Amino acid sequence: MHFGGLVDSRVVIKPNLPIDVLGVVRAQDRLAVLHGLDALGTAADPDFDHISALAAAVMQAPIALVTLLDVERQWYKSSVGLDETEAATDTSFCAHAIAAGDKPMVVTDATADPRFSASPLVTGQHHVRFYAGAAIVVAGARIGTLCVLDRKPRASPPAAKLEQLTALAGLAASLFALKDATRNGASIAAALAREEKRRGIALDAASLASWAWDIHTDMIECDVRLSELFGLPRSNRLRARDILAAIDPRDVYQ
């Protein structure tokens, strides 16, 4: 009940997803991996578009999607044959697909399946009838699916076709992991660059030099400040013997 902007706390909204599927979707370890990828709601990516297009071709389907499932929304990281970029998780095929385990989930006629007959994809303008989806698994978590859809009922695809769909889902998973590692690597590199800049400023302020000595080669890797301190030609590589020769013997034994 709704009165003047207040919601009656006694009203319980029953989720459309079965409890077992809901448990998979809301699993904290799965959501941690998903959110850690920082891919939800991001712009379209041609690398994932290639995978979607290949899945559509392999399965001879007019629609193919790379989906990411959050608690409330299902995001389309890539889509072929569909203009939308998201949908509600509680009416999605893909929520059931990630709960189905390692094998692809196939729905031959959605109008005859009570799980999906009321889905907007089925009752709306897209008239989806057929679905086949394989889970995208990153770090052991099913974060979404690579799926294909058709507007007419179809028989279940041959096992070889489903294996190809699963392989493409694995490729999508590897791509997500690679892009995440690259993003994290860039962040680390930027942090190191900032730290190096701060260190340089501190050394300049203190008129200090930094160096590392390889006793096996007698070479010292250093900043040019070290060569300047000993009155040597400006260089980032010095021989230890040259530095020792530049030191006043009286300073060595003090």
- pLDDT score of 215: 72
Q: Is residue 186 part of a domain?
A: no
Is 123 in the same domain as 208?
Answer: no
Structural domain range at position 53: 8-179
Structure tokens of 4?
A: 């003047």
Is 37 in the same domain as 145?
Answer: yes
Helix%, strand%, coil% for the chain, nearest 5 = 45, 20, 35
Q: Is residue 190 part of a domain?
A: no
At CA 226, angle to CA 220 and CA 232, rounded to 5? 90
User: Could you give the dihedral angle defined by the CA atoms of residues 114, 115, 117 and 122, in that order, rounded to the nearest 10 degrees?
Assistant: -160
| 101-121 exposure pattern, b = at least 16 Cβ within 10 A, e = fewer | eeebbbbbbbeebebbeebeb
Can you tell me the distance from the alpha carbon of 108 to that of 112, in angstroms, rounded to the nearest whole number?
A: 9
Q: What is the pLDDT of residues 60-76, one digit of tens each?
A: 999 999 999 999 999 99
Structure tokens of 214?
A: 């390889």
Is 145 in the same domain as 208?
Answer: no
Is 45 in the same domain as 106?
Answer: yes
Q: Is residue 2 part of a domain?
A: no
Is the pLDDT at 12 greater than 90? The verdict is: no
Is 142 in the same domain as 228?
Answer: no
Q: How many domains does the chain have?
A: 2
Is 113 in the same domain as 32?
Answer: yes
Q: What is the pLDDT of residues 113-171, one digit of tens each?
A: 999 998 888 998 999 999 999 999 999 999 999 999 999 999 999 999 999 999 999 99
Q: Is residue 189 part of a domain?
A: no
Mean pLDDT, residues 13-39 taken together: 86
Q: Is residue 194 part of a domain?
A: no
Segment among 127-141, 191-205, 238-252 with least mean pLDDT? 191-205
- Residue 246's pLDDT band, with cuts at 50, 70 and 90, is low
Is 60 in the same domain as 137?
Answer: yes
Q: Is residue 120 part of a domain?
A: yes
Mean pLDDT across the chain:
82
- pLDDT score of 249: 59
Is 121 in the same domain as 238?
Answer: no
